[in-house]
């Protein structure tokens, strides 16, 4: 296992750094990344731990393929107990930081404790230092990145850090790397802030070896052919980025408007990938080793930034009733600088707009800021900044939609699952994605099981979005496969062209273990179940919490192509539990746990 790198354990309370060997059995069973990290968290963080206390652990984990020759294999994951949901957090990011960590010879970093003062970690191959970050604390992520690179005297090093949102312990704070890539969801940035850890700078000089170089070469040849000929990975994503989805989701009547009070936006084309490409795109951005290049480098005025992605356009755009791309790009840039999750930030502003328009947030609370009205460009930009700085009403917004709405006595306006904001697809119009949101281990999330692919895009099969019979099985399989891909270090977007067998071939070459498609999916199922066990230990009540907001269950979509639809979650959930080998209360059965080696 030496080729995968070592485990670094940093105790920030004591200021110590230790090196540990990887556990081969854990790699075989949980692969790495999201899987290995969750296994460590499950074993080491006791039930009931306060997510922002020194007892919580913050894990940065590569997969066996991170930094290797496999396509789009630059991903790392952050695993911790979430301050937003109280359950498992595992946030994924690309860019170049994870690959650099692999080049330095590290597979994973486990942070424990809390530093008595702000610090950053400087890793140069096997040399590791905990350094003072007093002069950098308080700076946004872009300034901090520049300062950290200057401090280590190596402009080629890679930086992961938090902005002011993480320092302020915002429950929706992201961890940023390479300035514009985010391990965005579930408030992982607040956990980093709670540990007084501003950043991690890494520089590696080795080329990470693989167990079977010939096997890797063969897997690469086969996969590259598929990626090059697949219309999504060779044309759609490179040309328009993820924002190409705006029009198709809107035309399907599943584009959540005004905090899910509608699902069709007549002005959608103004914020589409087509418009972004025409008016703002400068060039594409590719993460480490990625042949797809879905990232967008955009220019607004004199400012050059990256994005926005589809999800961000939804969150600051349609969800807030905003049509044009300018305020969305500006809000996206603010989130990248201050370190906020764009989905949670936009959806929280949308909830605040509903609270304001219905009279629950009073005008005097705005302290002269723009009124929180749907469609206000000015409000979206202003309140995003206030949220990231934790100022005035922005401090309440920085707690996320659920806590905000609860503060005002109206949690029904919070469009969240397990207290995490839902992404850009309406589960009333697209039944499978609603089931996926409801059952996602990290709360409202589309990339746990992206059934939009078969339900709307027709890949790999054309599923009817309003059908409910087929969805429990599809959601389960997609959730398992995604867990395995997240654990591998490869990007989920490769799955538009690749299947479980392809990932199995890469994992076999990298680790030497007998992975194939079946074993890869089995590892994904094991990961899904240990995440579930983590949540159950933390008190998850499935029958109350594997659900969707009442708005999706009871309020029919008012107009557009999906007029009249509600989520039929109640009919799908029992079959989902059954398909998963869980009992009728959503608890994994003893037989299922034994089958997965989790008993």
Partner 1 sequence: MIKVLFFATIRDYTGVKETEAEGPGTVMELLTELASAYGSAFSDEAFEEGEISDRVIIMVNGRHIAHTGGGNTPLKSGDTVAVFPIIGGG
Binding residues vs partner 1 (CB under 8 A): 231-233, 235-237, 239-245, 247-248, 251-253, 269, 272-274, 294, 310-311, 446-447, 450, 452-453, 456-459, 462, 464-465, 492-493, 496, 560-562
In the complex with partner 1, the residue whose CB is nearer, 269 or 406, is: 269
CA-wise closest residue to 78 among 11, 166, 4, 174 = 174
Residue 426 CB, nearest approach to partner 1 (Å): 12
The residue behind tokens 């922005």 is 394
Cβ atoms of residues 486 and 503 within 8 Å? no
Under the phi-then-psi rule, with left for phi > 0, alpha for psi from -120 to 50, and beta for the rest, what region is 321?
left
Neighbouring C-alpha atoms within 13 Å toward the C-beta of 467:
14
R_g (Cα) of the chain, nearest Å: 22
**Which two tokens mark 31?**
């692969």
Q: Does the CA dihedral 530-472-487-53 come out positive or negative?
A: negative
Residue 88 CB, nearest approach to partner 1 (Å): 20
The residue behind tokens 């700076």 is 139
In the complex with partner 1, the residue whose CB is nearer, 121 or 343, is: 343
Contacts of 163 (CB under 8 A, 6+ apart): 139, 140, 141, 144, 173, 176, 189, 337, 338, 339, 340, 388
In the complex with partner 1, the residue whose CB is nearer, 95 or 118, is: 95
Residue 500 CB, nearest approach to partner 1 (Å): 18
In the complex with partner 1, the residue whose CB is nearer, 168 or 332, is: 332
Residue 247 CB, nearest approach to partner 1 (Å): 5
In the complex with partner 1, the residue whose CB is nearer, 159 or 452, is: 452
Residue 561 CB, nearest approach to partner 1 (Å): 2
Residue 92 CB, nearest approach to partner 1 (Å): 11
In the complex with partner 1, the residue whose CB is nearer, 53 or 235, is: 235
In the complex with partner 1, the residue whose CB is nearer, 565 or 593, is: 565
What are the angstrom distances between the C-alpha of 152 and each of 12, 159, 202, 294, 399? Answer: 20, 11, 10, 31, 34
In the complex with partner 1, the residue whose CB is nearer, 474 or 493, is: 493
Q: Is the previous residue joined to 460 through a cis bond, with omega within 30 degrees of 0?
A: yes
Phi, psi of 414 (to 5 degrees): -85, 115
Residue 98 CB, nearest approach to partner 1 (Å): 19
* β-strands 76-81, 58-62 pairing: antiparallel
Residue 568 CB, nearest approach to partner 1 (Å): 16
**Which two tokens mark 52?**
């922002």
């Amino acid at each position: 296992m030496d080729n995968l790198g070592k485990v670094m354990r940093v105790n920030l309370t004591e200021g110590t750094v230790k090196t540990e060997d990887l556990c081969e059995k854990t790699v075989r069973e949980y692969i790495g990344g999201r899987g290995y990290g969750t296994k460590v968290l499950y074993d080491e963080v006791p039930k009931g731990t306060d997510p922002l206390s020194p007892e919580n652990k913050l894990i940065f984990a590569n997969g066996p393929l991170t930094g290797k020759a496999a396509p789009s294999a630059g991903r790392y994951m952050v695993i911790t107990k979430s301050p937003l949901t109280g359950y498992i957090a595992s946030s994924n990011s690309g860019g170049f930081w994870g690959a650099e960590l692999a080049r330095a010879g590290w597979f994973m970093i486990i942070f424990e404790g809390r530093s008595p003062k702000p610090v950053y970690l400087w890793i140069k191959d096997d040399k590791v230092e905990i350094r003072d970050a007093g002069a950098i604390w308080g700076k946004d992520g872009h300034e901090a990145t520049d300062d950290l690179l200057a401090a280590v005297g190596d402009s080629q090093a890679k930086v992961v850090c938090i902005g002011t949102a993480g320092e302020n312990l915002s429950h929706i704070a992201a961890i940023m790397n390479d300035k514009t890539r985010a391990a965005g969801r579930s408030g992982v940035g607040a956990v980093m802030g709670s540990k007084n850890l501003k950043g991690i700078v890494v520089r590696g000089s080795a080329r990470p070896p693989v167990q079977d170089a010939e096997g890797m070469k063969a897997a690469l040849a086969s996969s590259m052919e598929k990626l090059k000929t697949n219309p999504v990975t060779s044309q759609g994503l490179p040309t328009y980025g993820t924002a190409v989805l705006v029009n198709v989701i809107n035309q399907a009547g599943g584009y959540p408007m005004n905090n899910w009070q509608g699902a069709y936006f007549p002005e959608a084309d103004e914020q589409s990938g087509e418009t972004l490409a025409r008016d703002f795109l400068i060039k594409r951005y590719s993460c480490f080793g990625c042949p797809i290049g879905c990232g967008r480098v955009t220019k607004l005025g004199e400012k050059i930034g990256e994005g926005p992605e589809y999800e961000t356009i939804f969150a600051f755009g349609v969800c807030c009733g905003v049509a044009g791309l300018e305020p969305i790009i500006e809000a996206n840039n603010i989130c990248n600088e201050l370190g906020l999750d764009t989905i949670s930030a936009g959806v929280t502003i949308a909830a605040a707009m509903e609270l304001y328009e219905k009279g629950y947030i009073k005008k005097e609370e705005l302290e002269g800021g723009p009124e929180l009205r749907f469609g206000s460009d000015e409000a979206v930009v202003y309140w995003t900044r206030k949220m990231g700085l934790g100022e005035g009403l922005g401090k309440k917004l920085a707690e996320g939609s659920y806590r905000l709405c609860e503060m005002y006595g109206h949690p029904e306006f919070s469009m969240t699952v397990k207290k995490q904001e839902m992404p850009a697809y309406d589960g009333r119009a697209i039944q499978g994605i609603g089931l996926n949101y409801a059952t996602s281990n990290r709360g409202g999330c589309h990339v746990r099981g992206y059934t939009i692919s078969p339900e709307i895009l027709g890949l790999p099969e054309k599923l009817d979005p309003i059908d409910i019979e087929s969805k429990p099985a599809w959601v389960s399989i997609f959730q398992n496969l995604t867990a395995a891909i997240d654990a591998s270090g490869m990007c989920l977007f490769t799955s538009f062209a690749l299947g479980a067998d392809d990932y199995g071939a890469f994992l076999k070459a990298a680790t030497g273990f007998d992975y194939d498609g079946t074993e890869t999916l089995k590892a994904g199922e094991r990961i899904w179940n240990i995440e579930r066990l983590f949540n159950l230990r933390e008190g998850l009540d499935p029958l109350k919490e594997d659900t969707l907001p009442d708005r999706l269950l009871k309020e029919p979509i008012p107009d557009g192509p999906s007029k009249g639809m509600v989520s039929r979650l109640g009919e799908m959930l029992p079959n989902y539990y059954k398909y998963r080998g869980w009992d009728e209360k959503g608890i994994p059965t003893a037989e299922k746990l034994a089958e997965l080696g989790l008993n």
